[in-house]
């Protein structure tokens, strides 16, 4: 069993233990090659982003301009604020030096001399071990100006932790950059993209914590080694955060393409009290849910989940058994996205609140059957009409949960309720053809 990101080595977070297990050897190898060589190795490895979009990492690095008079930056996204996602904190706690080494290699490849690790404010427990590891790396000459002596290279870079205030929107890359700059965390309109206009108007690359942590083993073992693990189109391992109605919730590092049923049964200990699975979310709450009877033979990789009508996201698997009230679940998720909307875009700012009000009405027994179509209509008007992907994150759970579990929602509405239309058009109130008789298509 390959464990690339969280090797089974006791106390690996201690620098002495990390060095005893070839720690910072990947950086030494990298600095002996050209930046273009490093980018090419990562491209050939097939490493894809572990933050949700699964974009090719080496390709993203290649977008950075080769020649520029401006400083370049690397931002490592550790905001991890989505319900169901809790993998990155395992790296912060148990393998921070491999993350640091990955940052050094990445900065060298893209030509950045400053890196920021953006960590959500609620992760104060996990910020401490990362800062400790950074301090140790500085003291040993692995970061900063002493790198030139330690590695025998002209390259050096600095690493800083930036503590967020706990906003989900800061997981979006341009909001993250605005937050680092001290501005309100509003997403930016693209283009221009961060590689051209990022932090303070300078070229910037943003990668997820898990993505960067994969880089040192790739440099040490080669692109062919990495690409041979898991699914060919989405190679390597993934950190699967399993939660919900399972006997052993936790984070499991497994090859991509592992069967979803195997993750639940073999690793997470099966469903509590051996109940049936009603619903499962495969990649954090923003990803479309799947019916429990449709997951047999389903592999956990980007391509397989896309074909099944969902997405890999952050690998946060949420299991819900047969007794789960999906109306309550959907209302709770919608409340989260309503609370976390930054308010910049009208469809998201207003639409999330509307969806929450309707779902609360259904929970109170005052919902109508038309409310279900209204919810889907609102979700469709949010989806694709916002500056960033929070709109999709809020809309997808609503429209796909209702579409795939329609019977459950229809059983909760009250068909005897008729909502009066108090705001009739003035000219239609006393005509021979009242507005109530007009067919709306």
- Reported as a single tens digit per residue, the pLDDT across 170-191 is 999 999 999 999 999 999 999 9
For residue 440, the model assigns a pLDDT of 47
Percentage of the chain lying above the pLDDT 90 cut: 91
For residue 425, the model assigns a pLDDT of 56
Q: What is the pLDDT of residues 325-334, one digit of tens each?
A: 999 999 999 9
For residue 426, the model assigns a pLDDT of 55
What does the pLDDT average to over 233-250?
97
For residue 226, the model assigns a pLDDT of 97
Cis peptide leading into residue 380 (ω within 30°): no
Over 90: is that where the pLDDT of 424 sits? no
Three-state DSSP class for residue 248 = coil
Q: What is the pLDDT of residues 67-101, one digit of tens each?
A: 999 999 999 999 999 999 999 999 999 999 999 99
Over 80: is that where the pLDDT of 438 sits? no
What does the pLDDT average to over 40-60?
95
Q: How far is CA 104 from CA 74, 236, 327, in A?
A: 10, 21, 46
| Cβ neighbours, 10 Å, residue 226 | 25
- Listed range (103-117, 200-214, 307-321, 411-425) with the worst mean pLDDT: 411-425
Over 60: is that where the pLDDT of 430 sits? no
* DSSP conformation letters of 34-73: -HHHHHHHHHHHT-B-SSSS--BHHHHHHTS-SS-SS--E
For residue 417, the model assigns a pLDDT of 76
| 316-321, strands of its sheet edge to edge | 250-255, 237-244, 316-321, 277-281, 290-291
Over 70: is that where the pLDDT of 436 sits? no
What does the pLDDT average to over 334-353?
97
Using pLDDT thresholds of 50, 70 and 90, give the confidence band for residue 222: very high
Angstrom distance (rounded) from CA 145 to CA 155: 9
Compute the mean pLDDT over every residue in the chain, rounded to the nearest whole number. Answer: 94
Over 90: is that where the pLDDT of 233 sits? yes
Over 90: is that where the pLDDT of 265 sits? yes
- Domains of the chain listed by start with CATH number: 15-227 (3.40.50.11540), 233-321 (3.10.20.600), 326-410 (1.20.1440.230)
Using pLDDT thresholds of 50, 70 and 90, give the confidence band for residue 53: confident
Angle between helices 390-404 and 346-363 in degrees, nearest 10 = 30
Angstrom distance (rounded) from CA 157 to CA 381: 45
Cis peptide leading into residue 192 (ω within 30°): yes
On whether the CB atoms of residues 79 and 171 are closer than 8 A, the answer is yes
Percentage of the chain lying above the pLDDT 70 cut: 94
Over 90: is that where the pLDDT of 421 sits? no
- As a whole number of Å, the end-to-end CA separation of the chain is 57
For residue 437, the model assigns a pLDDT of 55
Using pLDDT thresholds of 50, 70 and 90, give the confidence band for residue 416: confident
On whether the CB atoms of residues 115 and 160 are closer than 8 A, the answer is yes
For residue 2, the model assigns a pLDDT of 79
* Cross-strand partners of 97: none
For residue 200, the model assigns a pLDDT of 97
């Amino acid at each position: 069993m390959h464990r690339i990101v969280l090797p089974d080595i006791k106390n690996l977070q201690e620098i002495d233990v990390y060095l005893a297990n070839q720690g910072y050897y990947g950086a030494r190898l990298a600095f002996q090659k050209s930046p273009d060589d490093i980018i090419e190795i990562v491209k050939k490895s097939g490493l894809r982003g572990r933050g949700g979009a699964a974009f090719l990492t080496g390709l993203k690095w290649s977008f950075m301009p080769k020649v520029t008079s401006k400083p370049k930056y690397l931002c490592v996204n550790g905001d991890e604020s989505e319900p169901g996602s809790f993998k990155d904190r395992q790296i912060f706690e148990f393998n921070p030096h491999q993350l640091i080494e990955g940052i050094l290699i990445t900065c060298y490849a893209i030509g950045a001399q400053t890196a920021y690790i953006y960590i959500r404010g609620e992760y104060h427990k996990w910020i401490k071990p990362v800062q400790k590891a950074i301090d140790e790396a500085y003291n040993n000459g692995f970061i900063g100006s002493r790198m030139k002596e330690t590695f025998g290279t002209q390259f050096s870079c600095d690493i800083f932790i930036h503590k967020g205030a706990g906003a989900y929107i800061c997981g979006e890359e341009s909001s993250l950059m605005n937050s680092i700059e001290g501005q309100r965390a509003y997403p930016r309109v693209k283009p221009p993209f961060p590689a051209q206009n990022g932090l303070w108007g300078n070229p910037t690359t943003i990668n997820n914590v898990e993505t960067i942590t994969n880089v040192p083993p790739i440099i040490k073992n080669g692109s062919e080694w990495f690409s041979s693990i898991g699914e060919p189109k989405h190679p390597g391992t993934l950190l699967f955060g399993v939660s919900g109605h399972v006997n052993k919730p936790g984070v499991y590092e497994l090859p991509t393409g592992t069967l979803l049923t195997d993750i639940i049964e073999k690793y997470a200990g099966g469903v509590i009290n051996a109940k049936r699975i009603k619903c499962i979310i495969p990649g954090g709450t923003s990803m479309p849910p799947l019916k429990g009877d449709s997951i047999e033979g389903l592999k956990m990789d980007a391509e397989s989940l896309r074909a099944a009508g969902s997405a890999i996201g952050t690998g946060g698997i949420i299991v819900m058994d047969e007794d789960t009230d999906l109306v309550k679940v959907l209302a709770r998720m919608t409340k989260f996205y309503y609370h976390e909307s930054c308010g910049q875009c009208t469809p998201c700012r207003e639409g999330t609140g509307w969806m929450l009000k309707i779902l609360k009405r259904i929970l109170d027994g005052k919902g109508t059957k038309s409310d279900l179509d209204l919810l889907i209509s609102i979700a469709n008007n949010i989806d694709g009409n916002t500056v960033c992907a929070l709109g999709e994150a809020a809309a997808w759970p609503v429209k796909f949960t209702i579409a795939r579990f329609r019977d459950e929602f229809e059983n909760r509405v009250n068909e005897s309720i008729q909502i009066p239309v108090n705001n009739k058009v003035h000219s239609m109130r006393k005509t021979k053809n009242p507005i109530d008789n007009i067919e709306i298509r």
